[in-house]
Structures are given as structure tokens and as C-alpha cells.
């Protein structure tokens, strides 16, 4: 503790931490000692080793350091071993602050006087702040009667506008900024003293929260399943690993997984005998369940209220519940605690390991703040040092433009958990916070034992003591890292193996999702072009047009291209408007889908999904495979109807079809022929061409032709064959029979 076993002449820190720490510190009225609200001249060095001396106020005193803040709001920590060499008390800080305020005020007034002098010299009408009467423009120009004088006046005005006045105004702004800082300097001690009360308030809030947890004021217990209780002496087994509801039961897998509102359905699923004994195998045990591990994909539809509702649902999906088994009874407990992924630390946890072996701990502390992010052991830190040294050796032989790839490191951000570090208190507080989070679970359990019938009957256990803890609880550590040997199942390799036998008639799944995503892209492009939606931020991630059912969750491949690896699907949608012949028959649609979005259900075997479900590593990724494999499982188990082949589109009788065919054939026969106009024609652009002019037919479209004039090269489209007469090389007409 700071101040213990140090020479009398050495300055000691006056701490304001918890009583256990404050009791070890000898408080003395030493004027050199750091105390919240005192001002000191601080000497520090920058990156170039240049010394800077600045005035700082002590805003916090830790167990081995003091934090000082300057008038600009920047702060630095000074270790107790460096205090006497770095800091010098300023006994009359108010006078120093007042002198800085006065000097900046004087400088501001001097700069304003220069502005006034320039405006008077140029006869510019100043505002009232400058304290001068307005000068009429005619009078200002009368001073400069000659042309050369007017030229000089214009240059002087330009110089004042572009250089002199902007520089003066920038200097005034800088002085006002510094003046504001020094005027607010006297508020720094007041704010620091108020902040010093924050730990006491936090301690009170923490104590209130602990009482609430023990008394059950912030919890709710629901009976999920009733039955006989376990024997009185049966221990409570506490599982370390948190499970996830959606991954265990795969509920609503086709809709992105279950959510908070489906908890009662999960209760019913968990109460089934097979699930009950599999997930809670001991007569008395506790397992933590979170609704979801990953966020559910939701579409807010561009509606603000729906967006807010979606945000609330997302937060609810992260809620954690304790499911408690007592014999055949099952209870669900919800509490205000935000449980971590592990309810208690491993036996090889870095903190426990370091305590047993006497090794150091290192913490990553964010630069410029006191936030601790990560705790690592000394072995891990030394391994990082070795890796960095190896990178430096590689950088020496790498090309200059590639060296930056090897020199990045976070080593500078790690601080040792020793009293030599000015972040010792921050790391200690972080570690105590982690321990406190785990101990809160003990508060909940002791409260349940003392006041709730959840675990009745049981002996009068007190888990506050080591003996009581051993009698009441057994911690079941998470051995999931060693549960499965070898690599985890590769779903994409499995999909590729099944899709190798894809062909026409194969039944697949996945095309419906791919089609919705493709339709969403089309809808987004349509909204981009529509002025009513172009400025909106919302764009759908999935879209299903009205009256269009899509290819279906299960569908048959109509065409298959092995070269491109794409399958074509067809289906009928509703007709949105009457057909030209007056019918309302369905419209045939098609969609081309790449095989990497499909799964060949025809090649699937019953039970294939279990290889992914039973491995905890791929169970956590169930949204990748469950919507495909479970649909295939249900079809092969007879729970989903096998899609039938799509009937061919209905052919309609066209009474005028033969006539249109003959007209198209006649027009096509004229391509390449030389023709003469039988009638004068006028184009839509207003050009007129006389009867008898010569043309050549270049193209036919339906029953009309495109002709090009022999002289001049003009081109006309949409000409009826009845307007033309075919001629031969001798310029004689050719009969229709000869065509």
C-alpha cells in the first residue's frame, strides 16, 4: 500500500479508497502530498524527450498514483515513485489562474485595437462593438480622388480582407478559447471532489443490488413441471456452460430460430421426458439458458415504430434464465443479473492460476483511459513478446514497403498487474468486478435456499462458508473443448457431395430463399428509381411480390446446367391484369439459382442432420444448416409433401395464328430484295418519300419491314409489304407468284 515502509522525507498519497486500503495509509498534513483539489506544476516529457511544465489539478488519488488534469481537460497519472521529481506544489493557484485570465484579456483587447486601427485607416464602417460612428461610403471614396489612389485603396481593402483581418480574427478566437479554459479552471477541483463521492454511491448501489438478489426482489420463479422432489441430502449441481434455447430445440428454424416470445413453448419442449433428462441429467441441478446466441434477422419494413419494437426484441433475445431441476420438478428463474457465457471461472482461469503459481498478470488498458479490456497470464504475455521479436526479425529481411506488415503489436497497451503500474487500481477493480459477478450467483442460490421452496427439502446449508459450499454445491466445469475429437463437420463439403448428383427432376431446398433475396434486389433498385422512395434509407433484405408464391421451399429442377452449376425452377403465379384474349390464366415464372444456394434433398439420407446437431461446434451454427437439412429430414420422414412435377403450360387455340404466320413468312421472303414504293409514305419524323423510289429490304420484324433507300441511304422501319413492289435486275416488277 502506498505510504507504507517509505522514508519520512518521501511524499505520501492521501487516498480516498475503501476503508481496508485507507487504514494502511498514514495520512499526514504534508503540503507536497497530492490531495484532490490541490494544484501542482507538472514536468513531463513528450515523444521527442522535450520537457514541458504545466499547471495541473489533482482530480483523483489512487493507491500508488495521483491523476492530474490541466485546464485543457487533458490528464496524466504520476506514480508515487516519480511524484517528488515530477510535481511541485503551487500554493497560490488562484493568483496564477487570475494572472492567466488577465493576460489573455489584455491580449484580446490588443488584437481588437488592431482591428479597429485597420478599419479606421480604410474608412470601413465598423459595427457598434468597435465603438465608431458609421462612415458614409461617399465620404470614404472622396478621400481617394485620383485613379492611382483608388487602385492603392482597392489593394489595401483586398489585403485587409484576405490576410490581415482573417489572421487577427483567428488570433482573437484562439485567445478567447484559452481565456475560456482558464475561466473554467476553478471548476476542476469542484468536479473532482464530486467525482470522489462516486465510489461511495456505487458501493451503496451494489449493496442494494445484493440485498435485492438475496431477497428475490428482482427475480421471478415459474413452475414449469411438477412432480416428486429429490432427496433432502442431494447436492445441487451447477453447470458452468450457458446453453442456448434456439440451438437446443431448433424451434422455428425455418423462420430464423425462436425468440423471447417463444419461451413458454421452450418450457413445454424442455419438460418432455427425453429432453428433461438429457439437458438436466442430475436430480438437483441448475443450467443457464439464453434465448439466442446470435441476433435474429428481422425486417423493420421502413417503419420507425417497428424498428423500435425490433430493437426491444433484440435485447429480449439476450435474456438469460436459470432452469432448476429438483427431482421431477422443473423451475424457470429470471433475474436482473446479466450472466456471462460461463457462470463461474475455470480452475485454470488466469487469475486463479496466477494466484496459485505466483506468476504475474497483464492487462490490456486502453490508451488515454482507464478501461481494462483483457487479462492475460505472464506466459501468454511472454509468448506475445516472442512472436513480436520474430516479426521484427522478419521485417529486417522484408522489402521496405512490406515491413509494416510485421511491426504491428499491442504490447504497448499491456500493463503488468504490479504496484509499479499507474493502472494497478484499474486492473484490481476489473478483477474484483469479475469475481463479484460470479459471486452474485451464490447470492441468488442462498436466497432460494433460505426463502423459497424450489430446492426443498434440504439441510440448512450456508454456502457463504467453505464447508457449507462443499456440502451444498458441486461445480460441473465445461469440458466442451475436449468433448469432440477431430475437426468439426464441414457443412459446405457435405452440401457439395449431395449436389454432385443434381439433375433434371431432383428435389431441392434453398431456392425459395435465394429467390426472395434476388427479388429484394429488384425491389431495392425499383425504390432507387422511384422519387417517392429514393431518399428513404430502408431497403428490403427479402421480398415476395404480391400474388407470387415463388418456387417453393421444396421444388423440382426443370433444367440443369452442369457447366455453369445452375438450376432452373418454374412455377405459376397469379395474373395481375386481364390477358389480351380476356383470360385470367396463371402466368408461368422461372428462376435460375446457383447450386451453392441449394441442397439436393433427393440425395439426403434420414438422420444426416444429426452429425451437425450433436457436435456443439456446429450446433451453434444451426442457422447455416438447419433450414435446409431439417426440411429434407421432414420430407423423407413423410412430414412434408413431395413436390409434384409442374404440368406444361396450357396451349391456347389462336384462330388468326395461321394468317399471322403467312404474313410473317411473306415479309421474311422480301429481305434482301429491291423494291419500289407503290405509294408515297410519310415517317413519324415528318420526312416524305415519293411513290416509285427504289429501296432495298434489310430486315423483317413480324409482318413489317425495314427498308433502305437506294440513293441517299435513308432508312424507314415498320413498312407494310402491301406498300412495296419487288423488281428484278432489269427494273421489271416481279409477280407475287414468283416470290
The 10s digit of each residue's pLDDT in 622-635 is 778 888 988 998 89
| pLDDT band at 446; cut points 50, 70, 90 | confident
Looking at the chain, the whole-number percentage of residues with pLDDT higher than 70 is: 80
Res 102: pLDDT: 92
Cα–Cα dist 328/227, whole Å: 5
Long-range contacts of 343-348 (CB under 8 A, 24+ apart): 343/238, 343/239, 343/240, 343/242, 343/288, 343/438, 343/441, 344/238, 344/240, 344/438, 344/441, 344/475, 345/434, 345/438, 346/240, 346/477, 346/478, 347/477
| pLDDT band at 600; cut points 50, 70, 90 | very high
Domain boundary among 601, 636, 671: 636
C-alpha of 289 from chain center: 24
pLDDT higher at 149 or 441: 441
Q: Tens digits of per-residue pLDDT, 469-519?
A: 888 888 887 654 334 556 788 999 999 999 999 999 999 999 999 999 999
Give counts: helices (H), strands (E), the chain. Answer: 23, 28
In the predicted model, is pLDDT for residue 719 greater than 70? yes
Of 82-86, 116-120, 137-141, the poorest mean pLDDT is in 137-141
Same domain for 248 and 107? Answer: no
Res 311: pLDDT: 67
Domain boundary among 59, 91, 123: 91
Residue 139 lies in a domain: yes
Same domain for 507 and 456? Answer: no
Q: Tens digits of per-residue pLDDT, 347-379?
A: 455 565 555 555 688 888 876 667 887 788 888
Same domain for 612 and 503? Answer: yes
Grid cell for residue 233? 441430502
In the predicted model, is pLDDT for residue 391 greater than 80? yes
pLDDT higher at 128 or 472: 472
Q: Name the nearest CA neighbour of 213 among 205, 224, 201, 223.
A: 205
Same domain for 473 and 496? Answer: no
Residue 680 lies in a domain: yes
The mean pLDDT of 20-25, rounded to a whole number, is: 44
In the predicted model, is pLDDT for residue 162 greater than 70? yes
What letter would DSSP give residue 412?
Answer: G
| pLDDT band at 564; cut points 50, 70, 90 | very high
Grid cell for residue 445? 442460490
Residue 423 lies in a domain: no
Pairing mode, strands 320-326 and 243-244: unpaired
Res 569: pLDDT: 96
The mean pLDDT of 268-286, rounded to a whole number, is: 89
Q: Name the nearest CA neighbour of 703 among 736, 662, 674, 734.
A: 662
Tell me the CA distances in angstroms from 383 to 243, 349, 389, 407, one per residue in order: 32, 17, 10, 16
Residues in Cβ contact with 435 at an 8 Å cutoff, skipping those fewer than 6 apart: 351
pLDDT higher at 219 or 687: 687
Residue 357 lies in a domain: no
Q: Are 720 and 650 within 8 A, CB to CB?
A: no
Q: What is the CA radius of gyration of the chain?
A: 42
Residue 366 lies in a domain: no
In the predicted model, is pLDDT for residue 575 greater than 80? yes
Per DSSP, the residues of 310-344 read HHHHHHHTT-EEEEEEETTEEEEEEES----SBSS
In the predicted model, is pLDDT for residue 283 greater than 90? yes
Cα–Cα dist 4/258, whole Å: 58
Q: Name the nearest CA neighbour of 418 among 409, 410, 427.
A: 427
Q: Which pTM does this prediction carry?
A: 0.56
| Kind and range of the H or E run holding 7 | none
Beta strands (DSSP E) in 196-283 are 219-225, 236-239, 243-244
| pLDDT band at 96; cut points 50, 70, 90 | very high
Pairing mode, strands 65-69 and 51-61: antiparallel
Task: Give 703: exposed, middle or buried? Use CB within 10 Å, 0-12, 13-18, 19+.
Answer: middle
Domain boundary among 91, 126, 147: 91
Cα–Cα dist 81/60, whole Å: 17
In the predicted model, is pLDDT for residue 317 greater than 70? yes
| pLDDT band at 553; cut points 50, 70, 90 | very high
The mean pLDDT of 402-419, rounded to a whole number, is: 78
Same domain for 477 and 569? Answer: no
In the predicted model, is pLDDT for residue 660 greater than 60? yes
Res 56: pLDDT: 93
The mean pLDDT of 551-562, rounded to a whole number, is: 94
Same domain for 106 and 46? Answer: no
Q: Name the nearest CA neighbour of 73 among 169, 156, 184, 238.
A: 184
Count structural domains, the chain. 5
CATH number of the domain bearing residue 83: 2.30.30
Same domain for 596 and 730? Answer: no
Could you tell me the residue range of the domain that residue 153 belongs to? 96-193
- Selection from 300-314, 416-430, 492-506 with the highest mean pLDDT: 492-506
Q: Name the nearest CA neighbour of 426 among 24, 5, 17.
A: 17
Q: Are 567 and 557 within 8 A, CB to CB?
A: yes
Res 411: pLDDT: 78
Cα atoms in the 13 Å half-sphere on the side-chain side of 604? 28
pLDDT higher at 332 or 392: 332
In the predicted model, is pLDDT for residue 14 greater than 50? no
Pairing mode, strands 704-709 and 715-719: antiparallel
The mean pLDDT of 601-614, rounded to a whole number, is: 88
Residue 421 lies in a domain: no
Same domain for 663 and 612? Answer: no
Same domain for 667 and 631? Answer: no
Res 228: pLDDT: 93
Q: Tens digits of per-residue pLDDT, 102-111?
A: 999 999 999 8
Grid cell for residue 582? 380476356
Res 54: pLDDT: 92
Same domain for 459 and 519? Answer: no
| pLDDT band at 654; cut points 50, 70, 90 | low
CATH number of the domain bearing residue 684: 2.30.30.40
Mean pLDDT of all residues belonging to the chain: 80
Same domain for 236 and 274? Answer: yes
Same domain for 186 and 289? Answer: no
Res 1: pLDDT: 32
In the predicted model, is pLDDT for residue 619 greater than 80? no
| Kind and range of the H or E run holding 475 | strand 473-476
Residue 620 lies in a domain: yes
Q: Tens digits of per-residue pLDDT, 675-685?
A: 999 988 999 88
Cα–Cα dist 271/264, whole Å: 11
Cα–Cα dist 341/338, whole Å: 10
| pLDDT band at 453; cut points 50, 70, 90 | confident
Res 23: pLDDT: 43
Residue 127 lies in a domain: yes
Looking at the chain, the whole-number percentage of residues with pLDDT higher than 90 is: 25
Cα–Cα dist 465/228, whole Å: 29
The mean pLDDT of 374-389, rounded to a whole number, is: 83
Res 130: pLDDT: 41
In the predicted model, is pLDDT for residue 334 greater than 70? yes
Cα–Cα dist 127/146, whole Å: 28
In the predicted model, is pLDDT for residue 256 greater than 80? no
Res 335: pLDDT: 77
Res 330: pLDDT: 93
Amino acid at each position: 500500500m502506498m505510504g507504507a515502509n517509505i522514508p519520512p522525507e518521501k511524499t505520501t498519497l492521501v487516498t480516498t479508497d475503501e476503508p481496508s486500503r485507507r487504514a494502511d495509509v498514514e495520512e499526514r498534513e504534508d503540503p507536497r502530498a497530492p490531495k484532490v483539489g490541490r494544484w501542482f506544476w507538472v514536468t513531463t516529457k513528450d515523444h521527442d524527450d522535450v520537457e514541458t511544465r504545466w499547471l495541473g489539478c489533482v482530480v483523483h488519488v489512487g493507491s500508488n498514483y495521483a491523476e492530474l488534469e490541466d485546464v485543457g481537460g487533458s490528464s496524466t497519472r504520476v506514480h508515487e515513485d516519480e511524484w517528488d521529481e515530477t510535481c511541485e506544489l503551487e500554493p497560490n493557484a488562484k493568483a496564477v489562474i487570475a494572472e492567466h485570465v488577465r493576460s489573455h484579456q489584455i491580449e484580446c483587447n490588443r488584437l481588437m485595437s488592431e482591428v479597429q486601427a485597420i478599419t479606421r485607416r480604410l474608412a470601413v464602417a465598423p459595427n457598434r462593438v468597435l465603438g465608431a460612428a458609421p462612415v458614409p461610403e461617399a465620404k470614404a471614396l472622396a478621400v481617394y480622388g485620383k485613379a492611382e489612389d483608388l487602385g492603392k485603396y482597392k489593394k489595401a481593402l483586398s489585403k485587409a480582407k484576405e490576410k490581415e483581418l482573417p489572421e487577427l480574427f483567428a488570433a482573437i478566437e484562439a485567445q478567447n478559447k484559452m481565456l475560456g479554459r482558464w475561466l473554467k479552471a476553478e471548476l476542476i477541483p469542484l468536479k473532482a471532489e464530486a467525482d470522489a463521492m462516486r465510489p461511495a454511491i456505487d458501493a451503496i448501489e451494489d449493496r442494494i443490488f445484493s440485498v435485492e438478489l438475496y431477497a428475490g426482489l428482482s427475480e421471478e420463479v415459474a413452475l414449469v413441471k411438477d412432480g416428486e422432489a429429490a432427496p433432502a441430502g442431494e447436492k445441487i449441481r451447477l453447470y458452468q456452460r450457458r446453453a442456448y434455447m434456439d440451438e437446443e430445440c431448433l424451434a422455428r428454424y425455418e423462420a430464423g430460430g425462436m425468440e423471447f416470445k417463444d419461451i413458454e413453448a421452450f418450457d413445454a419442449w424442455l419438460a418432455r421426458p427425453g429432453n428433461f433428462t438429457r439437458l438436466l441429467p442430475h436430480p438437483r441441478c441448475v443450467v443457464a439458458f439464453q434465448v439466442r446466441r446470435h441476433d435474429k434477422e428481422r425486417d423493420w419494413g421502413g417503419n420507425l415504430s417497428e424498428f423500435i419494437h425490433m430493437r426491444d426484441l433484440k435485447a429480449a433475445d439476450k435474456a438469460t434464465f436459470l432452469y432448476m431441476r429438483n427431482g421431477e420438478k422443473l423451475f424457470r428463474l429470471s433475474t436482473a443479473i446479466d450472466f456471462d457465457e460461463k457462470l463461474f471461472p475455470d480452475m485454470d482461469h488466469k487469475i486463479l492460476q496466477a494466484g496459485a503459481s505466483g506468476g504475474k498478470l497483464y492487462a490490456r488498458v486502453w490508451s488515454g483511459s482507464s478501461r481494462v479490456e483483457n487479462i492475460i497470464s505472464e506466459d501468454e504475455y511472454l509468448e506475445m513478446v516472442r512472436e513480436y521479436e520474430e516479426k521484427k526479425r522478419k521485417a529486417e529481411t522484408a522489402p521496405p514497403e512490406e515491413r509494416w506488415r510485421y511491426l504491428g503489436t499491442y504490447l504497448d497497451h499491456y500493463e503488468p498487474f504490479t504496484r509499479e503500474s499507474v493502472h494497478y487500481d484499474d486492473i484490481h477493480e476489473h478483477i474484483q468486478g469479475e469475481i463479484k459477478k460470479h459471486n452474485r450467483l451464490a447470492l441468488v442460490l442462498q436466497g432460494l435456499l433460505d426463502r423459497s421452496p424450489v430446492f426443498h427439502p434440504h439441510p440448512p446449508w450456508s454456502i457463504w462458508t467453505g464447508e457449507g459450499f462443499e456440502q451444498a454445491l458441486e461445480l460441473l466445469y465445461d469440458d466442451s473443448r475436449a468433448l469432440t475429437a477431430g475437426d468439426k463437420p464441414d457443412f459446405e463439403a457435405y452440401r457439395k457431395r449431395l449436389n454432385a448428383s443434381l439433375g433434371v427432376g431432383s428435389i431441392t431446398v434453398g431456392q425459395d430463399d435465394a429467390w426472395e433475396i434476388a427479388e429484394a434486389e429488384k425491389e431495392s433498385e425499383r425504390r432507387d428509381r422511384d422519387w417517392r422512395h429514393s431518399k428513404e434509407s430502408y431497403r428490403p433484405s427479402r421480398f415476395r411480390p404480391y400474388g407470387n408464391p415463388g418456387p417453393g421451399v421444396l421444388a423440382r429442377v426443370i433444367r440443369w446446367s452442369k457447366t455453369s452449376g445452375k438450376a432452373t425452377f418454374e412455377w405459376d403465379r397469379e395474373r395481375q391484369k386481364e390477358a389480351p384474349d380476356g383470360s385470367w390464366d396463371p402466368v408461368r415464372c422461372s428462376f435460375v439459382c446457383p447450386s451453392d444456394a441449394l441442397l439436393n434433398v433427393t440425395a439426403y439420407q434420414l438422420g444426416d442432420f444429426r452429425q451437425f446437431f450433436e457436435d456443439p461446434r456446429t450446433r451453434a451454427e444451426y442457422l447455416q444448416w438447419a433450414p435446409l437439412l431439417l426440411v429434407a429430414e421432414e420430407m423423407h420422414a413423410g412430414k412434408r409433401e413431395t413436390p409434384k412435377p409442374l404440368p406444361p403450360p396450357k396451349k391456347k387455340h389462336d384462330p388468326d395464328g395461321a394468317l399471322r404466320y403467312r404474313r410473317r413468312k411473306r415479309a421474311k421472303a422480301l429481305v434482301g430484295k429491291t423494291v419500289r414504293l407503290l405509294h408515297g409514305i410519310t415517317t413519324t419524323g415528318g420526312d416524305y418519300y415519293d411513290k416509285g423510289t427504289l429501296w432495298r429490304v434489310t430486315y423483317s420484324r413480324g409482318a413489317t419491314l425495314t427498308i433502305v433507300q437506294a440513293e441517299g441511304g435513308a432508312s424507314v422501319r415498320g413498312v407494310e409489304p402491301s406498300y412495296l413492289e419487288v423488281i428484278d435486275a432489269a427494273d421489271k416488277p416481279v409477280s407475287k407468284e414468283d416470290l
